Structure 1
Amino acid sequence: MNRLKDATSPYLLQHADNPVHWFPWGDDAFEEARRRDVPILLSVGYSACHWCHVMAHESFEDPATARMMNDLFVSVKVDREERPDVDAVYMEATQAMTGQGGWPMTVFMTPSGEPFYCGTYFPRAHFQQLLQAVSQTWRDRRDEVLAQGQKVVGALTGATGLGGGAAPSEEVPAAAVRGLAEGYDRVRGGFGTSPKFPPSMVLEFLLRRAARGGEGLETALEMADATLTAMARGGMYDQLGGGFARYSVDAAWVVPHFEKMLYDNALLARVYAHWWRLTGAEEGRRIALETCDWMLTDLRTAQGGLASALDADSETPEGRHEEGAYYVWTPEQLTEVLGADDGAYAVELFEVTGTFEHGTSVLQLPRPPDDRERYARVRAALLAARARRVPPGRDDKVVAAWNGLAIAALAECGAYFDRPDLVEAAIEAARLLRDVHWRDGRLRRTSREGRAGDNVGVLEDYADLAEGLIALYGVTGDAAHAAFAGELLDVVLDRFADGQGGFFDTADDAERLWKRPQDPTDNATPSGQFAAAGALLSYAALTGSARHRDAAAAALAPVVPLAERHARFAGWGLAVVEALLAGPLEVAIAGPADDPRTRELHRTALLSPVPAVVATGDGVPLMEGRTPVDGRPAAYVCREFTCRMPVTETAALQKELTTG
């Protein structure tokens, strides 16, 4: 029988009607494999994954293939977004054995969980042959299979924390800028060739580097400006509805892989807002706000959280499911919606040349429109027409880590751009995570429809949520958010530390896999370790806690060996290094919340491009003893709780912030 019908994951529920006798990950599957004396077939994917859907339609919905899987294996289906720990250890094995990875991930393993053959997507005929071959090898050459599994496990269970090194110095970010410049695409922006992923964490580092000055300032700003501009104007950005696709399949940011992930958009909304904060680039403001609006329009759940993703595939008018069908246009379709004149205008404006599949094009915006009124009218008409298409499916589970990233973006964009609705959305998401995900002093990773899942939080959940809560406190002055962040970080320090200055990705009492995952490098999101370092550093700035500051500095040790040659995988760590070297600045705003002068000082502090942690209201140690001056609201700029003389004018505060 298929045992996925009670799952909370939309991805697992997509497979609940397969003829495959799927098990969810758990002891029952391993006990069944031992009872039957057969290998386990582990299939890992996620809801928005295009090739996961292809393999499902070709193989998992095919009765003949399902019969082979049921007869020869115990089959286990895992949502990688629910169980990043399972995904991490078996992806490491897959990459070690094949030289590459991806999803769907297909792993054959012993009933003890040791992987002995790994791959990704297999076409049906190849997959059927593989099922027969693996099963026969298990029967006839069992000793070789077991030895292979033990060899893989033995080779991959060494330490990977890269901890224990020297603390980062000013030379580290300078070396990183030099290393990034070597792989920078000076023609099209970004780094490397195709495919191109949005380098969100690296861009955050480059903006902080440019704000602080020092060696590499001009190069850092040039790379950030060009990359942010190119991504905003290309096809990877949804020019009608806002929000970014997962990546561009080409080097010029034209043709996207169409899935849209919460984590990408939360990170990018924040970095575009920071670009505007540093340079005043109007494009940064526009993209940040459009991306936030897209998150709330398409991803917000009834409970106030943010859903995980939209699928890459959607239904065509003919009833087929094709990648990108919801987003692409032909010149004829534009004319049908807009009429001849505006249709011709849209074809030229959005570069609709029929170069994609079936003569369609994604929409680009290679240059800002001259006629803003006409552009707005055309865009609104096309968006309304697109809304009548069948939209992509939505994975509506709420992931704690990604909602933490979204809370930070929504709170800051709301404060920067006078959008209290965005701040309120951040507050509601934080409330959901506190009320639903926080159980008995521990965090659950996911929820759906207001019900927490069974999967325990991993390091990135605690760290990213703490980061978001500290940003939300800085905007609202509600000390309850900072207090919750402190509770989360206590768990990080007590349950995730590796004893060498770094952190494991799972808690010390989490399910034991054949390896306890630990990867300090960034992937599509900040690594848990670097995210923890950033949140710990900010919390130390609010509280004066030496324990938290020392832990943050120690967790940044892997940045040193990664900076020059592998900076693309340490972007968030480098951004936190910039904050550490800057202090970070601690800015306490003292004055009545309803006084316009207090609000003006508060906004000025939030707009500091140099890394700063902002406090206002009561309830955090940084505010203790900070009072108005002669009845006037005042700002105190401090480093490690040593403060300069307070100022009462915004111009004076700006000077204090920019002079370090």
Structure 2
Amino acid sequence: MNELNLETSPYLLQHANNPVHWKAWNPKSLAAAKENNKLIIISIGYSACHWCHVMEHESFEDAAVAQIMNAHFIAIKVDREERPDVDAVYMKAVQIMTGSGGWPLNLVTLPDGRPVWGGTYFKKKEWIQTLEQLQEFYQSHPEKMIDYAEKLHQGIQATGLIQNEEPETEVNQNILKLLVEKWKKSFDLEFGGMARAPKFMMPNNYQFLLRYGYQKQDEKVLDFVNLTLTKMAYGGLFDTIDGGFSRYSVDMKWHIPHFEKMLYDNGQLVSLYSDAYKLTKNPLYKEVIEKTLRFVERELMNSEGGFYSALDADSLNSDNDLQEGAFYAWKIPELKVILKKDFNLFGQVFSCNAFGVWEGEKYVLIQNQTLDSIAAQNNIPVSELRTKKIFWENLLYNEREKRPKPRLDDKCLTSWNAIMLKGNVDAYKALGNQKYLDNAQQNALFIIKNLWSTEGNLFHNYKNGKTTINGYMEDYCFVIAAFISLYEATLNEKWLQDSKQLVDYSLKHFYDDKKSFFAFTSNLDEALITSHYETEDNVIPASNSVMAKNLFQLSIYFNNSYYEKISHQMLMAVLPGIDHPSAFSNWMDLALNYSEQNKELAVCCEDALTYCAKINSQYIPNVILAGTQKESTLPFLNSRYHDQETLFYLCKNKTCLMPNTDYQQIINDLMK
């Protein structure tokens, strides 16, 4: 029987009516495979995955396919977003076997879970033939299959974790320069991003490059980051009508996306555009921040202050069939009806031409010129064109709202919520909009109430009042980072104390002192076929790189040499061996903390919050900020507050200058 109706994951529930006798990943399902000596089919995907839906329709809804799967295999469906640990381990296996990976991710394993075959999307005929061959081979030559599984298992265990036998002891800033020079060769200097397709946004790459360009005064890097952010904001990938970014672009110009909108992308991009706005004051970046957070609040925020996970790529078209991008595409005749006499000017702005066409007669809105340029061509004030653009977008928004919306993945994931929490805080720092801070604090309370147990552990998921999965390292590292950012914005030391409590729990249940890294899964959880240590930054930064940055910052606040030692060990195990900088950008960002430019600032006075808000609104990525409006026991602030005095303590390399009372002088010193 299909058991997925017992689950809460929207992805698993999508498969609850398949004729396949799906089970969820749990000890009972795994034990059934061993008891019956059956091979296991592990099929991994997520609710917003277009090709997952295609394979479901072609194969998993088919009676003939189901008959083969049910007769000879234990079939297990996995939501990769709920079980990133399972996904990570089996993705390694498929990458070893095939050289690539993706979703849907489909594997066949021995009854003990060790993989013997795998790949991504398969057509029905190929899927049936493969399953029949594997079942026949397992019956006739089980020893050969077991031998192959053992060799592959050894390969899986050997991959992933960086082994640096002779780590250096000092951070060499010249390494960063060499890596960035190498990286520049991959830059797309026409449309931004990397010179390849598909194009993923990789927000952390540009967070690092923005900081590097600023601190090293590398104008070429800064120009490239601004080119990338501008082209991404021009549309297609970015939904200019309603806000929010899709997951990636299938082309070089950021035009046609895989249309799913993921919470983690949008949270990180809000943080990135907030930093870029602080440096440039570019109104386009402000528009992106405001539209994206408006979209998130309207479409992805629940009544409790939690954030949902995603909107699907597919929605119903005019023929009532699920189709990728149906919600977002336009045809010229309907645009003419909506826009009337403004259509020609609208068409110039949003490329209703060969540049903006998608397929057939469908268009996805994208700019290819600045509004200043278009206004000049049409001899109208740019302010008038900006007003028209806002009016057009409102018209199209109201029209589009009449269409069937993409399906919603309404589970809440702790790590992704924390990423969006931090995005709201960063937007508040950049723009000063109190609503963003209110939403961040409401989400923090949602996490504390629903996802942090009285035993000290975080949970990973939440839906319908239930949490079912123990937290992973990604949950801890991102919640800690979000709480630190909340402290920076509010000066409420509760957020630092909460962060420290989560760090200490992580050190007890995730840290492997022999490997000097944090395991992805808690030592309280049932072990998988191999341990996973996440060190490479991807579309989401690696949990170990985020945790190393947290430890660095908290070591200063709490004067904790143990935190500092672990952070430094982790960085030095990674930094000298970096070959592909895009996969280690968050580690490289941490390395910048060891430059001579890094500083710490303590603001101690009744107006500390006001001064810190001013500092937070400026782009000064090389300062760690603390402040207090009263006497504090926080080690970094202890004994520094004095009634009726405004004192700024500027520190560098654990050495502080005499307290200063001149705010402008402090700003000048920070900018040096």
What's the TM-score, normalizing by structure 1? 0.95
Match of 1:448 in 2: 463
2:567 equivalent among 552, 567, 571: 552
Distance in 1, Cα, partners of 2:34 & 2:641: 68
Distance in 1, Cα, partners of 2:549 & 2:669: 23
Q: How does 1:37-436 map to 2 (within 5 A)?
A: 37-158=37-158, 160-164=160-164, 165-166=167-168, 167-213=170-216, 217-339=218-340, 341-353=341-353, 355-369=357-371, 370=382, 371-436=385-450
Distance in 2, Cα, partners of 1:531 & 1:583: 21
- Equivalenced residues, count: 650
1:581 equivalent among 564, 587, 595: 595
Shift of residue 254, structure 1, vs aligned partner: 1.3
Shift of residue 147, structure 1, vs aligned partner: 1.2
Q: CA RMSD in A?
A: 1.8
Match of 2:521 in 1: 506
Q: Does 1:518 align with 2:522?
A: no
Residue 152 and residue 622 in structure 1: after superposition, are their counterparts in 2 closer, same or farther (change >3 A)?
same
Match of 1:537 in 2: 552
Residue 119 and residue 92 in structure 1: after superposition, are their counterparts in 2 closer, same or farther (change >3 A)?
same
Shift of residue 614, structure 1, vs aligned partner: 2.1
Which is worse superposed, 612-621 or 110-119?
612-621
Distance in 1, Cα, partners of 2:296 & 2:659: 39
Distance in 2, Cα, partners of 1:363 & 1:97: 40
Which is worse superposed, 435-444 or 165-174?
165-174
Shift of residue 512, structure 1, vs aligned partner: 0.7
Which is worse superposed, 645-654 or 88-97?
645-654
Residue 225 and residue 545 in structure 1: after superposition, are their counterparts in 2 closer, same or farther (change >3 A)?
same
Which is worse superposed, 279-288 or 237-246?
279-288
Shift of residue 307, structure 1, vs aligned partner: 1.0
Distance in 2, Cα, partners of 1:582 & 1:408: 27
Distance in 1, Cα, partners of 2:271 & 2:244: 12
Residue deviations 1:553-577 (CA, integer Å, cap 9, x gap) = 11212542454x3001011111122
Distance in 2, Cα, partners of 1:609 & 1:598: 17
Match of 1:643 in 2: 656
Shift of residue 588, structure 1, vs aligned partner: 2.0
Q: Please tell me whether the aligned partners of residues 270 and 426 of structure 2 are also in contact (alpha carbons under 8 angstroms).
A: no
Distance in 2, Cα, partners of 1:518 & 1:400: 19
Q: Please tell me whether the aligned partners of residues 245 and 260 of structure 1 are also in contact (alpha carbons under 8 angstroms).
A: yes
Residue 51 and residue 635 in structure 1: after superposition, are their counterparts in 2 closer, same or farther (change >3 A)?
same
- For 2:518, what is the secondary structure of its paired residue? coil
- For 2:412, what is the secondary structure of its paired residue? strand
Residue type of the alignment partner of 2:242: G
Residue 520 and residue 81 in structure 1: after superposition, are their counterparts in 2 closer, same or farther (change >3 A)?
same
Residue 192 and residue 285 in structure 1: after superposition, are their counterparts in 2 closer, same or farther (change >3 A)?
same
Shift of residue 517, structure 1, vs aligned partner: 0.8
Residue type of the alignment partner of 1:428: Q
Q: Please tell me whether the aligned partners of residues 605 and 653 of structure 1 are also in contact (alpha carbons under 8 angstroms).
A: no
Distance in 1, Cα, partners of 2:585 & 2:331: 38
Distance in 2, Cα, partners of 1:648 & 1:498: 45
Distance in 2, Cα, partners of 1:623 & 1:316: 59
Distance in 1, Cα, partners of 2:609 & 2:303: 35
Q: Please tell me whether the aligned partners of residues 305 and 432 of structure 1 are also in contact (alpha carbons under 8 angstroms).
A: yes
Match of 2:625 in 1: 614
Distance in 2, Cα, partners of 1:92 & 1:125: 26
Distance in 2, Cα, partners of 1:352 & 1:302: 39
Q: Please tell me whether the aligned partners of residues 259 and 312 of structure 2 are also in contact (alpha carbons under 8 angstroms).
A: yes
Shift of residue 161, structure 1, vs aligned partner: 2.5
Distance in 1, Cα, partners of 2:611 & 2:321: 54
- Structure 2, unaligned stretches of length 5 or more? 372-381
Residue type of the alignment partner of 1:578: L
Residue 116 and residue 601 in structure 1: after superposition, are their counterparts in 2 closer, same or farther (change >3 A)?
closer
Residue type of the alignment partner of 2:234: R
Match of 2:507 in 1: 493
Shift of residue 640, structure 1, vs aligned partner: 5.1
Residue 23 and residue 205 in structure 1: after superposition, are their counterparts in 2 closer, same or farther (change >3 A)?
same
Match of 1:10 in 2: 10
Distance in 2, Cα, partners of 1:642 & 1:608: 23
Residue 229 and residue 271 in structure 1: after superposition, are their counterparts in 2 closer, same or farther (change >3 A)?
same
Distance in 1, Cα, partners of 2:588 & 2:289: 22
Residue 127 and residue 510 in structure 1: after superposition, are their counterparts in 2 closer, same or farther (change >3 A)?
same
Distance in 2, Cα, partners of 1:106 & 1:159: 20
Distance in 2, Cα, partners of 1:632 & 1:552: 35
Residue deviations 1:326-350 (CA, integer Å, cap 9, x gap) = 11111112112222x1222222211
Distance in 2, Cα, partners of 1:476 & 1:232: 30
Residue type of the alignment partner of 1:653: I
- Structure 1, unaligned stretches of length 5 or more? none
Distance in 1, Cα, partners of 2:321 & 2:98: 33
Residue deviations 1:225-265 (CA, integer Å, cap 9, x gap) = 22111111141111111111111101111111111111111
Distance in 2, Cα, partners of 1:163 & 1:489: 24
Distance in 1, Cα, partners of 2:497 & 2:337: 55
Shift of residue 587, structure 1, vs aligned partner: 2.2
Which is worse superposed, 480-489 or 636-645?
636-645
Match of 2:376 in 1: none
Residue 644 and residue 294 in structure 1: after superposition, are their counterparts in 2 closer, same or farther (change >3 A)?
farther
Percentage identity across paired residues of the two chains: 31
- For 2:201, what is the secondary structure of its paired residue? coil
Q: Does 1:437 align with 2:451?
A: yes
Match of 1:461 in 2: 475
What's the TM-score, normalizing by structure 2? 0.93
Q: Please tell me whether the aligned partners of residues 334 and 346 of structure 1 are also in contact (alpha carbons under 8 angstroms).
A: no
Shift of residue 491, structure 1, vs aligned partner: 2.1
